Amino acid sequence: MPVAVITGASAGLGRALAGALVRREWTVLGTARGEEALRAAAEELGFTAVPGDVTDAGHRAHLKEVVGDRLDLLVNNASTLGLSPLPPLLDYPLDELETVFRTNVFAPLALTRLLLPALAAQNGTLIDISSDAAVEPYEGWGAYGSAKAALDHATAVLGVENPRLAVYAVDPGDLRTAMHQLAFPGEDISDRPLPETAVPAFLRLLDERPPSGRHRAADLLAAVRS
């Protein structure tokens, strides 16, 4: 039975991916900061909850112990938007900016480093969740977007340096999640699709295993429908 680690598994896209993999009879280890929400999701969907903050080195070490010697998939999904409402980049408090980069760049890289031996043993798959803000200069999105751009480039380098792995940065598109709501405080985002709608794009990557690179879920979904 293949094994996956999904960060940010208590809600949104991480939760949706965890549920889809469980239905495919994967062993899923899900982690997130909110223990109550994570354990509720794990009980409902059937995955193993490993609560904790991926920015914490002790929690990352614990995850490595739980994983052991085998890992087929790592999804670095946990991230933070940063401040809400979104301030201009030059007005961003530096301590908050550091938090955004620590969560969105350093934590996934540190976790990948720890779990790489187990992932490499299976010629596994690494997926880092990106954003269109990584490539488009949206006003107010400087902190989040620049962190995701850094993660994109780091992911590309990991793909080159680890040719036996399938390494993807994936932009899931605008989804109806709590974090997306924070970006638009007080606005109605009910027109955004639910996270579950993006899941087939990720399953296609796992099934077809194209060369490492950056993908948009919308493009993968269009190919599924055609």
- Give the span between the Cα atoms of 110 and 108, in whole angstroms: 5
* Cβ neighbours of residue 110 closer than 8 Å, sequence gap 6 or more: 54, 57, 60
* Alpha helices (H) in 1-138, listed in sequence order: 12-23, 35-45, 57-67, 94-101, 107-121
**215 near 30, Cβ under 8 Å?**
no
pTM comes to 0.96
Half-sphere exposure of 56 toward its Cβ, with a 13 Å CA cutoff?
Answer: 10
* Alpha helices (H) in the chain, listed in sequence order: 12-23, 35-45, 57-67, 94-101, 107-121, 142-161, 178-183, 199-208, 217-225
Report CA Rg, the chain.
16
Domain residue spans in the chain?
A: 3-225
Across the chain, mean pLDDT equals: 95
Question: What would be the CATH architecture of the domain defined by 3-225?
Answer: 3-Layer(aba) Sandwich (3.40)
- Give the span between the Cα atoms of 41 and 17, in whole angstroms: 12
How wide is the angle at C-alpha 62 spanned by C-alphas 57 and 63, nearest 5°? 95
Could you give the 3-state DSSP secondary structure of residue 22?
A: helix
Q: Which of 92, 138, 144, 168 is catalytic?
A: 144
Q: Could you confirm whether 144 is annotated as catalytic? A: yes
**Chain position carrying tokens 């112990």:** 65
Could you give the 3-state DSSP secondary structure of residue 39?
A: helix
- Give the span between the Cα atoms of 222 and 12, in whole angstroms: 21
* Each residue's pLDDT expressed in tens, for the chain with a length of 226 residues: 999 999 999 999 999 999 999 999 999 999 999 999 999 999 999 999 999 999 999 999 999 999 999 999 999 999 999 999 999 999 999 999 999 999 999 999 999 999 999 999 999 999 999 999 999 999 999 999 999 999 999 999 999 999 999 999 999 988 777 777 776 788 887 888 888 999 999 999 999 999 999 999 999 998 766 5
For the stretch 134-191, pLDDT in tens is 999 999 999 999 999 999 999 999 999 999 999 999 999 887 777 777 767 888 878 8
**In this predicted structure, what is the pLDDT of residue 24?**
98
